[in-house]
Amino acid sequence: MDRHLRTPELLIDLDVVSRSYEALTSQLPGLTVHYAMKCNPHQEIIGRLHSLGCRFEIASAAELDELRRIGADPAQVLYSNPVKPVAHIAAAHAAGVWRFAFDGEEELDKIAAVAPGAAVLVRLSAHQIRSGVPSEGKFGVDADTAAALLLAARDRGLRPYGVAFHVGSQMLLAHAWRAPLRAVARVMDKLAAESVFLQMVNLGGGFPARYCAVNLPPLSDYATAIGIGLAGLPYPVETVIEPGRAVVAEAGTLRATVIGTAVRHGRRWAHLDVGAFNGLMESLETGNELRFPVTDSRCDARRDRFHLTGPTCDSQDTIMFDVELSAGLRAGDEVYLGCAGAYTTVYASRFNGFDPPAVRCVSGVTLETSGDAAYSR
Amino acid sequence: MDRHLRTPELLIDLDVVSRSYEALTSQLPGLTVHYAMKCNPHQEIIGRLHSLGCRFEIASAAELDELRRIGADPAQVLYSNPVKPVAHIAAAHAAGVWRFAFDGEEELDKIAAVAPGAAVLVRLSAHQIRSGVPSEGKFGVDADTAAALLLAARDRGLRPYGVAFHVGSQMLLAHAWRAPLRAVARVMDKLAAESVFLQMVNLGGGFPARYCAVNLPPLSDYATAIGIGLAGLPYPVETVIEPGRAVVAEAGTLRATVIGTAVRHGRRWAHLDVGAFNGLMESLETGNELRFPVTDSRCDARRDRFHLTGPTCDSQDTIMFDVELSAGLRAGDEVYLGCAGAYTTVYASRFNGFDPPAVRCVSGVTLETSGDAAYSR
């Protein structure tokens, strides 16, 4: 018997990627989109986005390599990781990247040494509000320090170019952008007093995707909040966003096979060939609070509730508790997790010897993911 | 400039692996050691253990492949993951594995179908006490159910062979084995009334390693607690343990390079080229409670305290808060994390494009890891 399994497999609907990108560009007018490579750097995804005119942001030189493979222009890429290996800065600079984020003097020294004359964006802290997937905290300085750092950049022959912040991933409160934009205005005012004028404000990512049990505000709410914030800036600047999840999450459906089911202490468990360690690490990161819409191949009218877990012998490998699926679910059935295009394969390891999902780009297989609907079908 | 970094690198001292294995066999006499492959299946580690007479336990058929590569006998391997892909059961059975864990009827059906006549060990739940690294919860049934399941195994032509449990990883309370062993005695009594007698009790893993800020009980405490538990069994059985962390953790030193340092809100941060996502996932799993002993290449007499974080732009990529290192620490310096041989490379992904550590087996480079000593050198 061939022990290699047909699953897990991550199906990506590239048409949904296109629609999500176009929704962002049309409903957040005036903002340039730089897709966050870290979210899902699969070649066909970034190729499709590139063909639509999308730009990119990178967190490492390895991500730049992926972009060069699809013919993206490094001059349009933002290197937004505030702390970078010096060899990565040098490689990116040599390739034509000229805009780098930073949030400290040592990083300025590194950039000045290997990317002389580069343009720099200082990272502001902006974690007053908790996001759905905690991703903020280690980076960023206050507005006064940010202004001082941009002057320090000028002193090193670098170009004080902009301010960047990140409100946190899966941010469900559109007004989260307003306080950081007030801090940006303060940075711009302080620099204007020194006759330094900025070219760019980078509003980061954080735009949410439609998981279950999520009250997703319309994009127009985000446009309104950001518009109010931008109106408070002392002069107009180029404004960019760096969405990842909002572009690709809903395009992805994770196809998994039930390895087995069991009843323990009166509760049914379903074990899949994908779990926290080989694709669904965000379950662990969020304490199983992120709810993926789920259906199964059995489609029983009779439903039952399951704890959904992964293939390893580690109990932290659990995806979601208390999920409704076919009552007759058993080994060999397939389970489909929607909204799985973002932060899945990129976090996957081979723990216990279980393979990460293969990625296959297709059309028209995306699940209905509106609210809890997928649960009740 | 070559952007490929010389680090991160996981150095494994094979002599420490030998010493740890020998400590377990000498101080826990009468218990057969089956090394837990999931912890670190590197070929040179398992090769060394095999040469010492160590046996193995697997969580998947892929782990069995690694064991066959070093010439280990599948007949001496325990397949201890209670829920397995049916194709993995079949592959293991074909290779000569004959002992399988389970904790539900559906698993029995799968085993009976593709491994007829196999010996089975039922998994008891044993998570009354919280361990240092939570790893218990999804598996296991109570004693009465366990006895009924072993009878159900017999009805399917399988061999009721034993009982297994796992007290949880990095268990610092030696008495944690006592309550599960009382439950094992109950299972054995119930089965004896049906003239079914077991051959094996599998005490699982959980034996701890010497991280910092840990009050590590001597192995003799574990021997005493287990001895008391075993003395309460109605008749003698073969007894096995499945250590992983206690065998390889202290043998590993993770060599990393400082990418940069920064001061944020009055607190110093050091960014390494290794973090939660490419090797130190247990930081995230334990809420940064697991403390690795740390030193650095600068060896300043003047010390300062740092938050130690990884290379990605994700703030969950943080290893430890408030660690003492050389005050002058800066980009290019090396940092060494001790006690890093277990559950590091096996959890590593390439998130943000940062490579997992290369593994190199050496001798004599292991850090002093007694208590907090490594901090203060």
What separation in angstroms does the CA of A215 have from each of A158, A223, B251?
43, 17, 49
Please determine whether the domains at B14-248 and B250-376 fall in the same fold group of CATH: no
The full DSSP string for A84-112 is: --HHHHHHHHHHT--EEEE-SHHHHHHHH
| Interface with A, mutate which of B1, B3, B65, B288 (most A CBs under 10 A) | B3
The pLDDT score that the predictor gives to residue A371 is 37
Residues of A in contact with B261 (CB under 8 A): 104, 106
| Interface with A, mutate which of B130, B169, B264 (most A CBs under 10 A) | B264
Residues of B in contact with A106 (CB under 8 A): 260-262, 330-331
Residues of B in contact with A83 (CB under 8 A): 259-260, 262, 271, 311
pLDDT at residue A147 above 90?
A: yes
pLDDT at residue A2 above 90?
A: no
DSSP state, residue A80:
-
Please name the residue that has the structure tokens 């009594």.
Answer: B189
Cross-chain residue pair A107–B141, CB shorter than 8 Å = no
Which one of A215-219, A332-336, A359-363, B369-373 scores highest in mean pLDDT? Answer: A332-336
Residues of A in contact with B123 (CB under 8 A): none
pLDDT band at B133 (very low <50, low <70, confident <90, very high): low
Q: Which residue has the higher pLDDT, B137 or A63?
A: A63
Classified as helix, coil or strand, B118 is: coil
Distance, CA of B271 to CA of B354 (rounded, Å):
13
The pLDDT score that the predictor gives to residue B286 is 86
pLDDT digits (tens, 9 = 90+) for B282-321: 998 888 888 999 999 999 999 999 999 999 999 899 999 9
Which member of B140, B262, B265 has the closest CB to residue A107? B262
The pLDDT score that the predictor gives to residue B276 is 96
pLDDT band at B370 (very low <50, low <70, confident <90, very high): very low
Mean pLDDT on B115-126: 96
Range with lowest mean pLDDT among A132-136, A144-148, A323-327: A132-136
pLDDT at residue A128 above 80?
A: no
Query: For the purposes of burial, counting CB atoms within 10 Å of the CB of B332, is it exposed (0-12), middle (13-18) or buried (19 or more)?
Result: middle
How far is A169 from chain B, CA to nearest CA, in Å? 10
The pLDDT score that the predictor gives to residue A132 is 72
Q: Which helix (H) or strand (E) holds A307?
A: strand A303-309
Cross-chain residue pair B85–A311, CB shorter than 8 Å = yes
Mean pLDDT on B335-364: 95
Strand A267-272 to A303-309 pairing: parallel
Which residues make Cβ contacts (< 8 Å) with residue A188, sequence separation at least 6?
A163, A197, A198, A233, A234, A235, A237
The pLDDT score that the predictor gives to residue A214 is 78
Distance, CA of A338 to CA of A331 (rounded, Å):
20
pLDDT band at B3 (very low <50, low <70, confident <90, very high): low
Distance, CA of A296 to CA of A288 (rounded, Å):
20
Mean pLDDT on A327-356: 97
| Interface with A, mutate which of B43, B313, B315, B320 (most A CBs under 10 A) | B313
- Chain A residue with CA closest to B102: the answer is A262
pLDDT digits (tens, 9 = 90+) for B83-107: 999 999 999 999 999 999 999 999 9
Return the percentage of chain B with pLDDT > 70, whole number. Answer: 92
The pLDDT score that the predictor gives to residue A129 is 65
Q: Where are the domains of chain B?
A: 14-248, 250-376
Mean pLDDT of chain A: 93
Please name the residue that has the structure tokens 């990781």.
Answer: A81
Cross-chain residue pair A138–B309, CB shorter than 8 Å = yes
Q: Which residue has the higher pLDDT, A152 or A4?
A: A152
What separation in angstroms does the CA of A203 have from each of A175, A223, B313?
13, 12, 15
Which member of B61, B91, B285 has the closest CB to residue A284? B285
Strand A159-164 to A334-337 pairing: unpaired
- Chain A residue with CA closest to B111: the answer is A260
Distance, CA of A90 to CA of A97 (rounded, Å):
10
Mean pLDDT on A120-135: 78
The pLDDT score that the predictor gives to residue B142 is 95
Residues of B in contact with A348 (CB under 8 A): 349
Nearest to A128 by CA among A170, A81, A180: A180
Mean pLDDT on B230-246: 98
pLDDT digits (tens, 9 = 90+) for A302-340: 999 999 999 999 989 999 999 999 999 999 999 999 999
Superfamily of domain A249-376 in CATH is: Lyase, Ornithine Decarboxylase; Chain A, domain 1 (2.40.37.10)
Mean pLDDT on A92-106: 98
Range with lowest mean pLDDT among A118-132, B10-24, B192-206: A118-132
Q: Give me the sign of the Cα torsion angle B186, B188, B192, B194.
A: positive
Q: Does the domain at residues B250-376 carry the CATH identifier 3.30.230.10?
A: no
The pLDDT score that the predictor gives to residue A7 is 95
Beta strands in chain B (DSSP E): 9-13, 31-36, 55-58, 77-79, 99-102, 119-123, 159-164, 200-202, 238-241, 252-264, 267-272, 294-296, 303-309, 318-326, 334-337, 358-362
Distance, CA of B247 to CA of B136 (rounded, Å):
20
How many pairs of residues across A and B have Cβ atoms under 8 Å apart?
228
Residues of B in contact with A86 (CB under 8 A): 259, 331-332
pLDDT at residue A117 above 70?
A: yes
Which member of B38, B142, B263 has the closest CB to residue A351? B38
pLDDT at residue B371 above 60?
A: no
Distance, CA of B228 to CA of B222 (rounded, Å):
10
Q: Which fold has domain A15-248?
A: TIM Barrel (3.20.20)
* Interface predicted TM-score of the whole assembly (ipTM), two decimals: 0.93
Nearest to A98 by CA among A121, A118, A81: A118
pLDDT at residue A179 above 80?
A: yes
Q: Does the domain at residues B14-248 carry the CATH identifier 3.20.20.10?
A: yes
The pLDDT score that the predictor gives to residue A369 is 41
pLDDT band at A376 (very low <50, low <70, confident <90, very high): very low
Q: Quickly list H helices, B79-177.
A: 86-95, 105-114, 143-155
